[in-house]
């Protein structure tokens, strides 16, 4: 075993070996840049480390704050978030609200927000719960978590927006019009249509027959298609059971409804683009014993040519209403049950008043028809945007005319009356059986009589009757009971009108529901009206606060009001409708 090397042997020699010289000048010292890079790398690592410490400390602080406010907290820095969750809130809404969705399934949705106490964020949560039929929870998150989710929006695949509108080409409409003339031809045509074209065909047929609603009703062994024409529901066709599920799925897809939810009601909508304009389709789906029942309401957006005259307002009543519409302030109220055409009458009034120097704002539930030149607003109960609160808001927009879809409570009524007394023209509706019934209804809400009387300009009572088809109507013979009622109604007409009627031959017409050739006996509808305006006598009666609907009607007739029954009989004498129709709607 050799001797161990000494320490000096292991250390590098300080002495250059003989014959092996090295140029000292060739040894380069460490440059300042190298030292700076090493220093920068150290500083960067240190900064990152401190940043992580800061983020963790901030997260602990947010967690503590969430606990104090009573909200759950979550750190989303590494939480797995699906694309489906991200899509629950648009990127624009997420940035605007500083809120994101980080988890969603069929039963639950979880949102994270910088400020979960915000009323806007709470309202958004309610709205999303309503739309998705899921239970929602609002979490408090940090800015770091929020920014991380914002960055994830950039990973979403870019998909061109899909139009849900149903394009019905002119050629398709012409085919439907050529093949569908009545319910018999509708059934024959449906049997030849493929399932993929069935929705388009049903909508096209509904438009051809001027239906307001298309009903799809599943039964044990078949599916029934029913159409509402001129307010009356008709069995139009049947579908085989196997076509039903595909039809429901197609309608749900168009309406942005959930395919997997079949045990809860759902509401949706889509638009049909037709050559003459747009048709808004409101869809309601409801579970029934044999499947989901569907109702599609067809709202034609083109309201050109809508006038009071075309709705059936003629003669003295028309002149009276024109005078009240021309006033710069006050209230004009339309009354009647659901489906009596109240809103359409208000649209016709607004059409007349819609000028460039007039500002009109509406508050509707929902907006049924879009009218250019008018600011239309839709109430939203989920966001606590009610008629009462909405009316206060729109009055701050300095309108000349405001239309409120319906007066339902004292708060709305009081606001409308105050607006009418301070220079605005207010248009609205009430659910009462007659024009005279509006006064007791207002008083029952708690409206002060001394405010109501000067605020009210006119009240319109109305119903819709079906018009007789010119080619299907035949002369009618009244029953003794009908003749007695008609004689009493005519005898109570105002003297001016009575003179004209007594000089004419009384001829009435009727028609079957369907002729032998399958033609409809009634086509279209027309309004029958009664209008009373505020007078000194009626105002005094209101101030007494002890007046009944009967008393108001009696006073209104004494000052020349024609009742709905009288207007209906006059229209029947003109051959526009039948006595059966008049009595059907006025004796309900």
Residues 97 and 70 both lie in one domain: yes
Cα separation of 326 and 353, whole Å? 8
Domain termination residue (choose one: 269, 300, 331): 300
Residues 410 and 485 both lie in one domain: yes
Residues 314 and 241 both lie in one domain: no
Residue 191 has a CB neighbour count (10 Å cut-off) of: 11
Cα separation of 190 and 197, whole Å? 10
Q: At what angle do helices 495-502 and 480-491 cross, to 10 degrees?
A: 130
pTM of the model: 0.69
Residues 404 and 287 both lie in one domain: no
Residue 250 has a CB neighbour count (10 Å cut-off) of: 16
Question: Tens-digit pLDDT profile for the chain (588 aa)?
Answer: 445 455 445 444 444 444 444 444 445 555 555 555 555 566 666 555 556 666 788 999 999 999 999 999 999 988 999 888 888 888 888 998 999 999 988 778 999 999 999 888 888 888 777 666 678 899 999 999 999 999 998 887 654 444 455 665 666 666 766 777 677 777 777 777 776 678 878 888 888 888 999 999 999 989 999 999 998 998 888 988 888 888 898 888 888 888 888 899 999 888 887 777 788 899 999 999 999 999 999 988 776 668 899 999 988 889 999 999 999 999 999 999 988 999 999 999 999 999 989 999 999 988 888 888 899 998 887 778 888 888 998 899 999 999 999 999 999 999 999 999 999 999 999 999 999 999 999 999 999 999 999 999 999 999 999 999 998 899 999 999 999 999 999 999 998 888 888 877 889 999 998 877 777 889 999 999 999 999 888 888 888 877 788 999 999 999 889 999 999 999 999 999 999 999 999 986
482 occurs within a structural domain: yes
106 occurs within a structural domain: yes
532, 542 Cβ separation under 8 angstroms = no
Cα separation of 521 and 523, whole Å? 7
Token reading at 488:
């009493």
Helix H or strand E encompassing 63:
helix 32-69
- Identify the DSSP state of 165: -
Number of domains in the chain: 3
Residues 291 and 320 both lie in one domain: no
50 occurs within a structural domain: no
371 occurs within a structural domain: yes
**Which neighbouring-strand residues pair with 461?**
335, 530
């Amino acid at each position: 075993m050799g001797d161990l090397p000494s320490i000096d042997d292991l250390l590098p020699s300080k002495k250059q070996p003989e014959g092996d010289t090295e140029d000292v000048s060739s040894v380069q010292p460490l440059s300042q840049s190298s030292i700076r890079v090493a220093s920068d790398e150290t500083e960067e690592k240190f900064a990152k480390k401190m940043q992580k410490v800061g983020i963790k400390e901030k997260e602990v602080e947010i967690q503590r704050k969430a606990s104090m406010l009573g909200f759950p907290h979550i750190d989303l820095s590494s939480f797995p978030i699906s694309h489906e969750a991200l899509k629950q809130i648009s990127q624009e809404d997420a940035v605007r609200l500083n809120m994101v969705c980080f988890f969603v399934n069929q039963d639950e949705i979880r949102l994270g927000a910088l400020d979960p106490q915000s009323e806007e964020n709470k309202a958004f949560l309610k709205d999303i719960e309503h739309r998705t039929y899921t239970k929602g929870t609002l979490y408090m998150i940090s800015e770091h978590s929020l920014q991380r989710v914002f960055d994830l929006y950039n990973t979403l695949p870019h998909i061109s927006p899909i139009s849900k509108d149903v394009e019905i080409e002119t050629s398709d409409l012409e085919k439907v019009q050529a093949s569908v003339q009545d319910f018999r031809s509708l059934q024959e045509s449906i049997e030849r249509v493929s399932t993929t074209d069935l929705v388009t065909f049903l909508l096209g047929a509904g438009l051809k027959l001027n239906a307001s609603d298309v009903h799809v009703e599943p039964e044990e062994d078949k599916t029934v298609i029913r159409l509402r024409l001129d307010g009356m529901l008709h069995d139009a066709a049947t579908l085989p059971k196997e076509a039903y599920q595909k039809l429901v799925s197609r309608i749900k897809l168009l309406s942005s409804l959930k395919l997997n939810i079949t045990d809860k009601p759902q509401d949706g909508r889509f638009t049909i683009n037709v050559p003459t304009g747009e048709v808004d389709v409101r869809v309601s789906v409801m579970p029934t014993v044999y499947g989901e029942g569907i109702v599609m309401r067809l709202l034609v957006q083109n309201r050109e040519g809508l006038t009071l005259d075309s709705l059936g307002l003629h003669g003295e009543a028309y002149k009276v209403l024109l005078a009240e519409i021309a006033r710069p302030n006050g209230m004009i109220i339309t009354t009647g049950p659901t489906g009596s055409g109240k809103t359409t009458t208000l649209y016709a009034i607004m059409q007349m008043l819609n000028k460039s120097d007039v500002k009109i704002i509406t508050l509707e539930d929902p907006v049924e028809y879009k009218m250019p030149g008018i600011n239309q607003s839709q109430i939203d109960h989920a966001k606590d945007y009610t008629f009462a609160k909405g009316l206060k808001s729109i009055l701050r927009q300095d309108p000349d005319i405001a239309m409120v879809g319906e007066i339902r409570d004292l708060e709305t009524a009081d606001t409308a009356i105050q607006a009418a007394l301070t220079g605005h023209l207010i248009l609205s509706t009430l659910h009462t059986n007659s024009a005279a019934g509006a006064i007791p209804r207002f008083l029952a809400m708690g409206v002060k009589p001394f405010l109501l009387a000067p605020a009210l300009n006119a009240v319109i009572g109305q119903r819709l009757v079906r018009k007789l088809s010119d080619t299907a109507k035949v002369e009618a013979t009244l029953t003794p009971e009908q003749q007695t009622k008609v004689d009493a109604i005519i005898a109570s007409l105002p003297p001016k009108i009575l003179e004209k009627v007594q000089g004419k031959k009384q001829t009435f017409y009727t028609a079957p529901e369907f002729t032998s050739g399958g033609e409809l006996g009634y086509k279209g509808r027309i309004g029958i009206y009664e209008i009373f305006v505020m007078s000194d006598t009626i105002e005094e009666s209101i101030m007494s606060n002890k007046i009944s609907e009967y008393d108001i009607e009696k006073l209104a007739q004494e000052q020349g009001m024609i009742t709905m029954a009288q207007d209906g009989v006059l229209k029947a004498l003109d051959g526009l409708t039948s006595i059966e129709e008049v009595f059907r709607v006025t004796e309900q």
